[in-house]
Structure 1
Amino acid sequence: MGKTAPSDQRRNGIKQIYFVLIIAVIVIFIWLTAVISQTSGLPSVSPEVSANQFQQGWYYLSGGEKHAVEAFPAQVSYEGGEGVFYNVLPETGEGQSLMFSNDYQSVQVYVGETCIYDYGYENLPPLGNLLGNIKCFVPMKEEYSGEEISIHLKMNYWEEKAAIKSVYLDNTSDLIFQMLKSQAGLVLCLILMLLFCVALFACFVWARYKKITEESGVFLNLGLFVFLSAVWIWTDSSLPQLVFKSGIALCVTSFFSFMLLPVPMIGFVEKICAGKTRMFRSFQLMCLLNCAVQSIFYAAGIADYPQMLPVTHLLLAAVIIFIICYLIYDVRNHASYYAKGMLVAIGALTLFSFAALLNFYISRRLDNSLFFRMGFLLFILILGYMSVKMLLSYQEVRTQAAVYQKLAYTDLMTQVNNRSSFEEFIDGLNAEVRSEKNLTFIMLDLNGLKQTNDKYGHKAGDRLLQSAADCIKSAFGEAGTIYRIGGDEFFVAVTREDVNVEERLSYMDERIAEYNRRHSEDPFCLSIARGTASEKEYPDCGIDGLWKKADENMYREKAAFHSSR
């Protein structure tokens, strides 16, 4: 094997350093902004509009005794099949709401003995026990002031304790603003993901338009992965309930998008890897089957999606292990650049996920999902960079192939199509089922080229050939296709009915006469014999017969030219 040139080694080294520096700058920027925004002691520059927390005075009953809730999130053991939190309402009024987070629990809220809110107790969901992950908004009234309020919670699966994260009591508009403000990072992440998704689908459409079929699949799979990720992150938050009424439909959408996430990712990895295996398609089918079976179980009332979540997690873990193992195999056996990039992307996502976990244990008050979202964005950006580079590389190869093909089918001296191109054209016409009779063939032959070569040299003959080609192109360049099929022979195929061949030949003769006037000092002149044959004149000849007729007519004129001298 040949050694890499020193200049190439330096160029590759600079590219690697450049890539590492870009990643380092991105990581440093993310780290700095995260640390500064979370730990700065300076006053906030954003408007101070915050909802009033209603977290004092809560208690629960256990064994007939009151127990104060010391801090939120809070849990209480079931008594009588439910967990209940009690408090006394402060002064309330119209336009206010009690807001608290609820994860898949049935909820009833009582003021005194009156039930003022029911979510999943008496008002049962249409299928199974799935209730979703939502924020409950309980409207308040002025007459509720000073009354006892109780929140009844019941989990239909998973735990034996009722849980509540936090409770707010304020104007509904302030509560909504607080919810939006707390999700600002998530909103920004979703906007970036959707913009990236649009860019990927635009690249897919462009690649399909350019007929880059294989590489278009890379953009399609990555675009679908980003789209499903955005849908999952969005529906798993509390934002959609500001727009959609059904929390259950949002929950089903969240589980669907999560279960389908591996399908486009597997397709993306398959496209970028040099090696191929049926395992890719097998894992995709397993993910689709998992989604279908769980949906059937949910619709039949056998089990809800949260109860079957461990199956999805195990399948997802198997997919990730398979992808990592296959990427390592592809790097070792095929030295795949794109497999290396994919491993880097997975490593970055793992690193940021670990940072999010570490951040959770260091300070539970910080936005623990921030690092994961940043890592996920970096993961997608790396994959996007790889996809664009793959497309540009493929486009470069296609451009080079087009240049080589043009060289293979172009006569270098005259810059018209050569004999190989002509034979493919004739073979294509013979294989084609044609109903229209609109073909005209023109055979052209330089008079006296051999004598010019013998007497004045091949340089003079070459100049005569190039000049003949220029005259033919000036007459038929836009009206037909020109081929050089022999040393001094040219062929023109006219397929348009609106082209007057005789007028074009007359124009060619004018160009020939003009050339001879400009080069009157030359001891030789340019002269071209021609013969035409059209399907209208010879409708039953066929393609080869039509070519032969044009050739015969050309030689008849050539013989007349020589006999007249």
Structure 2
Amino acid sequence: MTETAVSGKRAAEWMMILGVILSMFLILGIFAGTAPQSKEDLRELSDGWYLMQDGARVEVTLPTVRKADTKTMLTLYNDSLTAADAGMTLTTRGALYRLRVLLGDEPLYEYRDDLFPRNEQMRTKLDCTVNLPGETAGKALALIYEIPDSREYQIPRVYIGTGSAVFRHYCLADAFTLAIVFVMLVMSLIAVWISLYSARSGMRDRRFADAACFLLLCGAWCTLDSSLAQYLSNMSPVVCYLSFYAFMTLPIPILHFVQNTGEMARYRILDLCILLFYLNAALQGLLCRLGFFELIETLFVTHILLAVGASVLCGLIIREYLQKRTRELLVVLVAFATLSLSGVLALLLYWLLGIPYYGLIFECGILVFIVILLNGLIATMAGTLRFKTEALVYQRLSHEDRLTGLRNRRAFEQSLETLEREAGSWENVALVFMDLNGLKYINDHFGHSAGDELIIGAARCIERAFSGYGECYRIGGDEFCAILPDPVLGEEEWNALLDEEIQRHNQSSRFKLSIARGASRLRDAAGVLKTVSDWKFEADQMMYQDKESRKMREK
């Protein structure tokens, strides 16, 4: 691997590593700063609770687990509120049991999901927040739970504190999810940066943009699905709808990613899968809008599509890998196997066990999945960069004279072909042929190393005189030329520049340098284009005339 490719790969990998480390430090700093400053900010209201059973008061300490009886409601009371609790915020998880909160005879809160129905798993992770009124002393606080039939019910902890303390409590409760979201955001920015860098380097790979889009959708879904987002939006239906649509469209950028891998675009079933996910989101939204179904009732359709889509993707990738056996396909296969495993595990936790934290399993799987993919993409980009670098080096060497570093005869002939095609776009082009005088004498009497020294000296003089106006070439052993598009100087001025450089060289060189030269313009005085062969012949004749005249002067 070339040094450029290695450095490019290392730079991208270090960007990923530093991004993850930076995000974790930022998260730790944020949540360290959000910790409660004192016990008075937020306290757990665990004691002082009781319920009335057969006319008797039964003390209860929260949290507690009780078996459901034939009653449809459970009411817990607390008489410990004081005047200091006025204006405070009370929070607990009771949406699962359709919690209602009363202070004395005054209703303060009732969980309702009329605007956006939620299933049991969704309600389990929702917090119910109550703002206490200005007068609390001497009033009994009542929490009323609707009891599910023939099941155990869990009464969670109850917290009370200032609004800012409750907000910090929510942030800490969702710290893991927020940390994952922040890492996703950082990695998406890194993917965008690599995508732009690869495009500027002529190695555009759309998969980096696909990965960035996937990460942004995942971050949006994780954020909107969190209890913190529900708390900040006051359980707004808009947040729930956005969360559902982010989840329903998650697979689309991944399907595009697979299409842009190798030759996978030839599988038309991938286009069908993308269409199905778009149709799923559109039809569910339409049916929900028309009142036929609620999104929660059709969620299983999305899960079925996800399972089928994951199976199709894995099957296609396995098939392609068995045919091609490339490292790129192996990395994609391992990444998708990891994501599929986490997705299946999350679905099992969701549907079979009813565990509310199924999303965290899938979120961790997404992070591992995207890290594997991005690392594989970076390795692929590094390989492409190596290939392009080697190709450029080979091309440069094939067009470069190794002794002088000037462009060689092959490059000169290609330049002439280009000029012949584009001659009409130039006002004029000057061609200067040059030939060293006395090189054979130097080679015969002082050796070829001395001759090479003279050739290199001539190349440097020609380069300094003409490189600011056009391209310089070594087209033979002692033959050089320069092509000057739209020349701003006349022939006498070119000769003066070259003679000045030769004189400067001869002052410090042990061998005297002399260069014969002849020039021709591609258009004649009337502006008529010459043929390239006539143009070259005229410049060559002018050079030999100059060479003969110099010999005559030296005699």
TMscore range, shorter length: 0.7 to 0.9
Secondary structure (helix, strand or coil) at the match of 1:213 reads coil
Query: Counterparts of 1:100 and 1:520 in 2: how far apart (Å)?
Result: 95
Query: Counterparts of 2:431 and 2:500 in 1: how far apart (Å)?
Result: 18
Which runs of structure 2 are paired with 1:102-501 in the superposition (5 Å)?
115-117=107-109, 120=112, 125=115, 134-141=126-133, 142=135, 146-147=139-140, 149=142, 151=144, 166=156, 168-173=158-163, 174-214=165-205, 217-241=206-230, 243-244=232-233, 247-273=236-262, 275-278=264-267, 279-348=269-338, 373-432=363-422, 437=427, 439-446=428-435, 464-486=454-476, 488-495=478-485
* Cα distance, 1:490–1:358 mapped onto 2, change above 3 Å: same
Segments of structure 1 that go 5 or more residues without pairing to the other structure are 1-43
CA contact (8 A) 1:232 1:255 kept: yes
Q: Where does residue 527 of structure 1 map in the other structure?
A: 515
Please report how far the alpha carbon of residue 285 of structure 1 lies from its aligned counterpart in structure 2 after TM superposition. 2.6
Secondary structure (helix, strand or coil) at the match of 2:407 reads coil
* Cα distance, 1:326–1:355 mapped onto 2, change above 3 Å: closer
Segments of structure 2 that go 5 or more residues without pairing to the other structure are 1-34
Secondary structure (helix, strand or coil) at the match of 1:295 reads helix
| Matching of residue 559 in structure 1 with residue 545 in structure 2 | yes
Secondary structure (helix, strand or coil) at the match of 2:528 reads coil
Which runs of structure 2 are paired with 1:5-24 in the superposition (5 Å)?
none
Please report how far the alpha carbon of residue 245 of structure 1 lies from its aligned counterpart in structure 2 after TM superposition. 5.1
Please report how far the alpha carbon of residue 199 of structure 1 lies from its aligned counterpart in structure 2 after TM superposition. 1.6
CA contact (8 A) 2:466 2:472 kept: yes
Secondary structure (helix, strand or coil) at the match of 2:480 reads strand
CA contact (8 A) 1:200 1:223 kept: yes
Q: Give the number of equivalent residue pairs.
A: 499
Secondary structure (helix, strand or coil) at the match of 1:471 reads helix
TM-score, normalised by the number of residues in structure 1: 0.72
Query: Counterparts of 2:280 and 2:207 in 1: how far apart (Å)?
Result: 24
Letter in 1 for 2:220: V
Q: Deviations over 1:124-164 (max 9, x none)?
A: 63xx7579864331222335954574657799xxx999988
Which runs of structure 2 are paired with 1:20-169 in the superposition (5 Å)?
50-53=43-46, 56-57=49-50, 85-92=74-81, 93-101=85-93, 115-117=107-109, 120=112, 125=115, 134-141=126-133, 142=135, 146-147=139-140, 149=142, 151=144, 166=156, 168-169=158-159
Secondary structure (helix, strand or coil) at the match of 1:494 reads strand
Q: Deviations over 1:252-280 (max 9, x none)?
A: 22112211211222233333445543333
Please report how far the alpha carbon of residue 403 of structure 1 lies from its aligned counterpart in structure 2 after TM superposition. 0.5
Letter in 2 for 1:558: Y
Query: Counterparts of 1:318 and 1:476 in 2: how far apart (Å)?
Result: 67
Letter in 1 for 2:271: R
Secondary structure (helix, strand or coil) at the match of 1:211 reads coil
Q: Please give the root-mean-square deviation of Cα atoms over the aligned residues, in Å.
A: 4.8
Q: Deviations over 1:214-255 (max 9, x none)?
A: 3xx222112222222122111111122454456222212211
Q: Deviations over 1:502-523 (max 9, x none)?
A: 444322223334545655667x
Query: Counterparts of 2:147 and 2:356 in 1: how far apart (Å)?
Result: 29
Query: Counterparts of 2:515 and 2:526 in 1: how far apart (Å)?
Result: 27
TM-score, normalised by the number of residues in structure 2: 0.73
Larger relative CO (CA 8 A, sep 6+): 1 or 2?
Answer: 2
Deviates more, 1:159-168 or 1:532-541: 159-168
Letter in 2 for 1:480: G
Query: Counterparts of 1:260 and 1:189 in 2: how far apart (Å)?
Result: 19
Secondary structure (helix, strand or coil) at the match of 1:387 reads helix
* Cα distance, 1:71–1:480 mapped onto 2, change above 3 Å: same
Secondary structure (helix, strand or coil) at the match of 1:539 reads coil
* Cα distance, 1:137–1:275 mapped onto 2, change above 3 Å: closer
